[in-house]
Structure 1
Amino acid sequence: MSCKYSILITSKNRLTDLIFTLNKINYLIERTDVECLLYDDASTDGTYNYVKENFPKIILLRNENSLGLIHNRNVLLNNCSGEYAISLDDDAHFESENVLEIIENHFKTNSKCGVIACRIFWGLKLPNTSILNEEIIRTKAFVGCGHIWNIKAWREIANYPEWFVFYGEEEFAAFQLFKKAWEIQYVPQILVHHRVDIKSRKQKSDYQIRLRRSLRSGWYLYFLFYPWNQIPKRFSYTLWIQIKKKVLKGDVKATFAILQALGDVIIHFPKLMKISNRLNKSEFDSFNKFEETKIYWNP
């Protein structure tokens, strides 16, 4: 059955966060023009059964063994039936009213918009004000925790690269969209509350692996899309910044993460060369005129 809007969520062992999100967006899920697809990535906390019993309208998918966020997002995007695919993290929800109407109106009046990038607040507690003082602009990329695809645009580009594992897949898609003349547009009228404590992440056990994946994905993107003459100085600069700010300050976990990321680039170099879709000088200059990705909204 086709519908206008598809809400896509992937989750793993975060049932408490997921329940909060689903309760927040249930008024959308219950609409007749909305389908919600939820991918349970081999959770062991009862996610699948809870959702099946308490949210019967949600279309459930499940991996018996974890296949990862990027794999799941590819499957969801390739199997949803909506014209517009709304991607939310399991710890993120909308705070704006009339979200679906804003989405439809924007895509209909901006025919080259391939992805809507939402205004996102990162933090456990939403600020008292949500005053809007920003305008719609074209940006280089978008943030995974809250964005909306024009499904026509998704079908014109390559799937997210599952071997990135985590981080960088949105930028990968952004370059592909640019090559196909689709735009990414930041629409601040759509506010997403991403309920995470950024400051505490460095103390968490996955700090090292997050840094490793973040660094390597940025370097992967250089070799996939940047003109050759841009790569050496950018690669060297980012590496030096990591050494200066982390290695020389005694951050042992970061040091290992940097070395691992460099190893990942070496291992995947043949693949990077095989699937590269490099921008020429003119394209690169045009791309760099766009606004930087709007990641954090600070009221």
Structure 2
Amino acid sequence: MIFSILITTYNRLNELKITLQSLEDFYIRNDVEFIICVDGSTDGTYTFLKENYPKIKLINHSKSKGLIASRNELLSLTKAKYAISLDDDANFLSDNVLESIEALFEKHPKCGLQAFSIYWDLEKPKNTLKHEKVERVKGFVGCGHVWNMEAWNSIPNYSVWFVFYGEEDFAAFQLFKKDWHIYYNPQVLVHHRVNIKQRSTQNDYATRLRRSLRSGWYLYFLFYPVKLIPRRVLYTLWIQLKTRVFKGNLKAALAIIKAIFDVLLNIHKLIKNSNRLSSKEFQEFSKLPSTKIYWKPNNSNS
């Protein structure tokens, strides 16, 4: 098997239906396998998949184990050479996706992972014009990427205790330590069907902020040279206080306090699992282009 498409889903059957419909051309190919983790869904997802997509391999959790644990499980099961990770609310917009992926891996033997070009919006872009190039980058985004499974099998699994946020950066640092490279592949365009602007007004805003902030601190303690950690932590804390708390954002204040306690509670794990970059390695890593998180088409107001 050359390709595997891995999806984890939780109570988003309608979104998953759209995603699977967009992947029908892949579903009928003999060199592609599908594995979906139904992570404790109660909306009939498992039954729907079993009845309508008999070729898909299914994992069915009776209770949700979380995104990271589900991704680890999916990656442990695939026998493919390359494993595509796609969110249940994401779909490809470009043509010749698999061919583009395979060509880049063959051209760059040290490529351990490819990061896709991701468009974040409920509606797809009006055009896909762009002038980006393939380049090595620091990291990748979880909703659309592909693993060289040789690279995945050479590093530790995603850290489940991160819960959400930071697991991709965790893997990126581990890849760097093993001399695997991450390449941004702009020829593979993913439409992530979410409204980013609405997230700050949703009920889980404080939870997302807490997890995002603590994951950054986790990464400092795990991978940064020791002498840089205090300054980095204090700087990020000051920025949060200045931009949120001092402006009266009480939800943010509570989230920051909880994030600090999360770090203290997990300090033993941070020490046990540390895999620090040397000063030279950190300088090399810092020179890499930043992770490409958002993409917008050229000549468009989208």
TM over 0.5: yes
| SS, match of residue 203 in structure 1 | coil
Q: Does 1:202 align with 2:209?
A: no
1:84 CA drift (Å): 0.3
CA drift of 1:132 comes to 2.5
CA shift digits 1:17-61 (9 cap, x unpaired): 111101011211221110000000000110100111111111110
Aligned residue for 1:130, secondary structure, equals coil
- How far apart, CA to CA, are the structure 1 residues paired with 2:98 and 2:244? 43
CA distance in 2, matches of 1:184, 1:145: 15
Query: Which residue of 229, 248, 260 corresponds with 1:250?
Result: 248
Aligned equivalents of 2:292, 2:108: Cα separation in 1: 19
Q: How does 1:130-279 map onto structure 2 within 5 Å?
A: 130-279=128-277
C-alpha contact 1:121 1:193 (8 A) present in aligned 2: yes
- Contact map agreement 1:208 1:257 (CA 8 A) in 2: yes
- Residue 264 of structure 1 and its aligned partner are, at CA, apart by 0.2
Please list the CA deviations of residues 88-141 of structure 1 after superposition, one character each: whole Å capped at 9, or x if unmatched.
Answer: 000001111010011111111110000000000000112211012000111111
Q: Distance in 2 between matches of 1:103 and 1:136?
A: 11
| Residue correspondences, number | 297
Q: Tell me which residue corresponds to 2:35.
A: 37
Aligned to 1:54: 52
Q: Is the 8 A contact 1:132 1:189 kept in 2?
A: no
What is the percent sequence identity of the aligned residues? 56
Partner of 1:13: 11
Q: Distance in 1 between matches of 2:87 and 2:93?
A: 14
Q: Which runs of 5+ in 2 are unaligned?
A: 298-302
Task: Give CA deviations for 1:142-172 in whole Å, capped at 9, x if unaligned.
Answer: 0000000000000000000000000100000
Equivalent-residue separation in structure 2 for 1:111 and 1:278 (angstroms): 25
Say whether 1:99 aligns with 2:124.
Answer: no
Counterpart residue type for residue 107 of structure 2: T
Runs of 4+ in 1 over 4 A off after TM superposition: none
The amino acid across from 1:186 in the alignment is Y
Cα deviations by residue, 1:194-252 (Å, 9 ceiling, x for unpaired): 00000001111111111111110000000000001111111111111111111111112
Quick one: distance in 2 between partners of 1:19 and 1:256?
Answer: 37
2 CA distance for matches of 1:229 and 1:257? 26
Which residue type is aligned with residue 295 of structure 2?
W
Give unpaired runs (5+ residues) of structure 1: none
